[in-house]
Amino acid sequence: MEHNRIAKDLHHRLGSKLSAIRHQFRALEVCADALNVEQSAQFNKVNRLLDDAVEEVRRISHDMIKGALAEFGLGHALQDLRDSIAIKGRLDVELNIFGSDQRMERSTEIAVHHIVQELVANALKHAHPSEISIAPTRMPERFSITVSDNGAGFYPAGRKDGMGVDNVRSRTGKAGGTMLVDSTVNRCTTVSIEVPIA
């Protein structure tokens, strides 16, 4: 269980601090236009390094959490994910689990967990929400999960998928599932995923 404790520490302590720094740093972007060319380049470089650090911590902790996912199941792993990203007074994360007490194939649980991670990361990076809802539901022959946020939103029909959405589509397709995106500018985004259960 030591690896699980370390993974949680990475998420809760270092990960949350880096995320808080990144949120504060984003607020400074409105001042970036006042910088000269050299200062602006340095600002953007530090911004990219901070993004890389946040992603690296997330990758390391997620790799370590795979062991806990295999041992305790998807529901436990999603609870850990919720606890790791929620920020009191700034980001409320609601998790409603239905029927996930029954285990699925390990590959399916890992795929679903990665999909949720990617969707949450996309919401935090692009939508800057104050609320995120995660709702996984186990049914007899399929598993559905809905991730929604109250962030910036966008017009799905006029938006080219970024790397994050491409990754989600790819993971969903490999799992034999389907993906539906519903979004409204300045209101909310809801992504619904369904994957079959072998």
Compute CA 19 distance to the chain's CA centroid, rounded to the nearest angstrom: 12
Confidence at residue 16, expressed as pLDDT on a 0 to 100 scale: 58
Most confident among 4-13, 26-35, 186-195 (mean pLDDT): 186-195
- According to DSSP, the β-strands at 142-149 and 92-95 are unpaired
Confidence at residue 144, expressed as pLDDT on a 0 to 100 scale: 94
- List the one residue out of 70, 87, 86, 69 whose CA is nearest residue 78: 69
DSSP 8-state symbol, 130: S
- According to DSSP, the β-strands at 188-196 and 142-149 are antiparallel
* Confidence grade of residue 3 (pLDDT, cut at 50, 70, 90): low
Confidence at residue 113, expressed as pLDDT on a 0 to 100 scale: 87
* Confidence grade of residue 54 (pLDDT, cut at 50, 70, 90): confident
CA separation for the pair 159, 147 (Å, rounded):
19
CA separation for the pair 29, 34 (Å, rounded):
10
Return the exposure string of 110-148: e unless at least 16 CB atoms fall within 10 Å of the residue's CB, then b: bbbbbbbbbbbbbbbebbebeebbbbbebeeeebbbbbb
Q: Map residue 150 onto helix, strand or coil.
A: coil
Q: Model confidence over 67-110: pLDDT tens digits?
A: 667 778 888 889 888 887 888 888 899 999 987 667 888 888 88
Confidence at residue 132, expressed as pLDDT on a 0 to 100 scale: 94
Confidence at residue 96, expressed as pLDDT on a 0 to 100 scale: 94
Confidence at residue 45, expressed as pLDDT on a 0 to 100 scale: 80
Residues 136 and 100 sit within 8 Å (Cβ to Cβ): yes
Q: Model confidence over 121-179: pLDDT tens digits?
A: 888 888 889 999 999 999 888 999 999 999 887 655 555 555 467 888 888 999 899 99
Which of 49-53, 54-58, 163-167 is predicted least confidently? Answer: 163-167
Which pairs with CB-CB distance under 8 Å and at least 24 residues apart come from 112-115? 112/74, 112/136, 112/143, 112/145, 112/175, 112/193, 112/195, 113/69, 113/74, 113/77, 113/78, 113/81, 114/62, 114/171, 115/145, 115/168, 115/171, 115/172, 115/175, 115/193
Structure tokens at 154: 């966008």
